[in-house]
Amino acid sequence: MKQSNQTNYFHHVDHLKNQTTSKNTLWASLFITLFFTIVEIVGGILSNSLALLSDSMHMLSDVLALGLSMLAIYFASKKPTSKYTFGFLRLEIIAAFLNGLALVIIALGICYEGILRMIHPQEVDVKLMLIISTIGLIVNIILTIILARSLKGEDNINVQSALWHFFGDLLNSVGVIVAVVVIYFTGWTLIDPILSILISLIIFRGGYKIIRNAWLILMERVPEDYDTDAIINDMKQFEGVIDVHEFHLWAITTDHYSLTAHVVVDNIDGIKNYELINKISAMLSEKYELDHSTLQVEHLKANHLDEPYFDEVKEQL
């Protein structure tokens, strides 16, 4: 069925995100990352350095992750349709989940290759390692600063996941430089895979955090910093409200929350009840910043609420 213009007029919350800052940031990061990924792949092969190759694979995953994030931001800006009434905001979370999963897989792969290199040590070209790792360090510092500033302006879980990707790259660049110094002065080539394994653990932790945050949203868990008991208690403080049940609070994506609840009232007057619901909605918006709330009015007799749960409530009437 075609969505009417009246529905759009009365729909008080747009289920979309226009994230210009995040979009520009991710585009710039994508082009810079793609260029340096090619440089690192060639340098890693020529120098025979696992640290450089592991970082190049990580950078390649960054390119894919950034592309996925750009796709998510594009769809998040599209308006809801009659089939997708919440819009396409959830794609942002799915993209973040996949990015986090990519980080975990990459970390496990680097760790595995590091163990193999420890069992079978190989010679590396320290001079080429130093040149490429130094360039990589500068690039990753720039990208980390760009993403961190963008995150302050717009809270975006995909920018957050990209930041973790580049933070891991930054650590990897530092690790490669440390490995170069140790190999140059001591000849101990095992430092290359050892540092790669340590960095992979840090990358794994970042990927796990992103997966966890995305998973909680996908499972429609109550967002952090919200106490459902406190919210329900505040709703019950309004005169005329005798109970609140069927309470649900969840996030469609970051900073985009929805609340639904049944409000049991002691008044049959429809107009007064609408006024009451408007007051509760205003409180939820002002105190808890919950702008998208759907509240259903119920009355014990009119709605035939004769379950044992309401026996105690009925005594108040």
Indicate whether 114 pLDDT > 80: yes
Sort strands 293-299 and 256-265 into parallel, antiparallel or unpaired. parallel
What's the alpha-carbon Rg for the chain, to the nearest Å?
27
Indicate whether 18 pLDDT > 60: no
Q: At residue 255, what is the residue type?
A: D
Residues 246 and 200 in one domain: no
Between the alpha carbon of residue 244 and those of residues 225, 226, 269, the distances in Å are 21, 17, 18
- State the DSSP string of 174-224: HHHHHHHHHHHHH--TTHHHHHHHHHHHHHHHHHHHHHHHHHHHHTTPPPT
Residues 191 and 262 in one domain: no
Question: Would residue 223 count as lying in a domain?
Answer: no
Q: Which residue has the higher pLDDT, 88 or 227?
A: 227
- State the DSSP string of 86-109: TTTTHHHHHHHHHHHHHHHHHHHH
Contacts of 147 (CB under 8 A, 6+ apart): 25, 29, 159, 162, 163, 166
- SS3 of 270-315: the string is HHHHHHHHHHHHHHHHHHHCCCCEEEEEEECCCCCCCCHHHHHHHC
CATH assignment at residue 270: 3.30.70.1350
- The pLDDT of residue 233: 96
Q: Looking at mean pLDDT, say which of 127-141, 153-167, 284-298 comes out highest.
A: 284-298
Question: Would residue 292 count as lying in a domain?
Answer: yes
Residues 206 and 76 in one domain: yes
Domain count, the chain: 2
Domain boundary among 218, 249, 277: 218
Average pLDDT in the 229-245 region?
94
Q: Quickly state the pLDDT bin for 2 (edges 50, 70, 90).
A: very low
Looking at the chain, the whole-number percentage of residues with pLDDT higher than 90 is 20
- The pLDDT of residue 89: 79
- The pLDDT of residue 303: 67
Q: Which residue has the higher pLDDT, 237 or 100?
A: 237
Domain hosting residue 260, numbered range? 228-314
Determine contact, residues 290/284, Cβ cutoff 8 Å: yes
Residues 243 and 169 in one domain: no
- The pLDDT of residue 244: 94
Residues 213 and 240 in one domain: no
Looking at the chain, the whole-number percentage of residues with pLDDT higher than 70 is 82
Domain boundary among 160, 187, 218: 218
Residues 119 and 11 in one domain: yes
Residues 31 and 155 in one domain: yes
Query: How far is it, in rounded angstroms, from Cα 123 to Cα 117?
Result: 10
Determine contact, residues 40/32, Cβ cutoff 8 Å: no
What's the predicted TM-score (pTM) here?
A: 0.70
Domain boundary among 218, 250, 267: 218
Average pLDDT in the 278-283 region?
95
The structure tokens listed for 246 are 């069927």
- The pLDDT of residue 106: 82
Residues 62 and 202 in one domain: yes
Residues 209 and 259 in one domain: no
Residues 177 and 104 in one domain: yes
Q: Which residues pair with 203 in a beta bridge?
A: none
Q: Looking at mean pLDDT, say which of 22-26, 46-50, 144-148, 185-189 comes out highest.
A: 185-189
CATH assignment at residue 104: 1.20.1510.10
Residues 284 and 169 in one domain: no
Residues 291 and 161 in one domain: no
